[in-house]
Structure formats: C-alpha cells, structure tokens
Amino acid sequence: MLEVEVIADPAAAVVALDPVRSRLLAELAEPASAAALAARVGIPRQKVNYHLRALESHQLVTVAGERRWGGLKERLLVATASSYVVSPRALGAAGTDPGRARDRLSASYLIAVAARAVQEVGDLWREARAKNKRLATLSLDATVRFRSAADRADFTRELSEAVTALVARYHDDTAPDGRAHRLMLAAYPLPRIEEDT
C-alpha cells in the first residue's frame, strides 16, 4: 500500500470523491470483505459491492486475499493507498496553472504552484514506480514565528539572497547529463488550529 496516491484520471477522481466511496476507501486501510464493510458503514452488502466494483475498476482498491466464510468464499479488498490527492490534471483545462497568475505574491499563485507540484511529482512518481525506481526529491518543512512584519521582510530578503546564491553556484546549463529540478519555496501563515496545538 502506498502512503499517498495522486489521482490524475478524471473518472477515478469522480469515483474517489463520492462520499460513500471515500468512506469505504478510508475503511479499507486494512483488508476487509464487503460483508464486514456493510456492517461497519451501515449500508446493504449489495450496495457496498456496487461501490467496491467502481473503486476496483479505477485501481483505488485491490484484492488482498480470499477467505472461506461458511460455505462461501469472500474476497478481501484493501485500498491501494493510505490517502489520496486529486491532481489538477483531473480537471483538464479548468485545472490551475501558475502561468495564468498575474500576482506572484498572491495566495492564488501559491496554490497554483503547490498544485503544479502535486501534478508533476504525481506523474513522475507514477512513472518511477512503473520502472521500479525511486524518485529523487527533497522536501523541507519548518515553522518560523516572526516577532514582527519587519523581521518577516528581513527573513524573506535573506532567504531570497541565499537561494539565489545557491542556484547560481550549482546551476549548469552546459552539463550534458544534468537534469533540471524545480525548486519551490513557500511561506504562509500557520492555520490557527495548528498554531494552538
């Protein structure tokens, strides 16, 4: 089971976003039968089977095994990932694109850049898994509590200068076997719920 799967197919996104089906996906963190799921979620087994077939047809759940229950054989299904994210690719032309943003300091630009990362990394990771390879990535995540807006501005300036210097030192357009990497840095206020905890 993957930790996270990026859904790029529009039909799979529709299936996964259905409230009943998304609940079944959450319940299938561990293998379960349709009968067991029906008892847990309070839906008739026939309806659960209908939803499971839809999830299975889009590779959101997979067969984890079989077991005998009385004289019957029942399939055990499990979600293909612990969690799912929908790629902007699933929205086609309506998906977000950082190139359309006019204000690079706006929240909409930040959201578009983050969504592009979901789409690009999702596509690259799917391709790497198909080749049984790892995808080289780097993620930094930190929380900074600024004393003042002036400190935030100074931090932004110093960070920009440091990143610019590092990029200038390591970027090489002439490297024949080099591979370009996208670097994204973002900062936004921590949601109050996280700040309180």
Distance in angstroms (rounded) separating the CA atoms of residues 159 and 188: 15
Distance in angstroms (rounded) separating the CA atoms of residues 2 and 128: 13
Mean pLDDT, to the nearest integer, of 156-172? 96
pLDDT band at 70 (very low <50, low <70, confident <90, very high): confident
pLDDT, tens digit, for every residue of 58-68? 999 999 999 88
Query: How many helical (H) and strand (E) elements, i.e. helices and strands, does the chain have?
Result: 7, 4
The domain locations on the chain are 2-84, 87-137, 138-171+182-197
The one-letter amino acid code at 140 reads L
CA 119 to centroid of chain Cα atoms? 9
pLDDT of 162 strictly over 90:
yes
Supply the pTM of this predicted model. Answer: 0.83
Q: How confident is the model at residue 105, as a pLDDT?
A: 84
Q: How confident is the model at residue 152, as a pLDDT?
A: 95
Longest CA–CA separation in the chain, Å: 73
DSSP conformational letter for 7: E
Chain-wide mean pLDDT for the chain?
93
CATH number of 2-84: 1.10.10.10
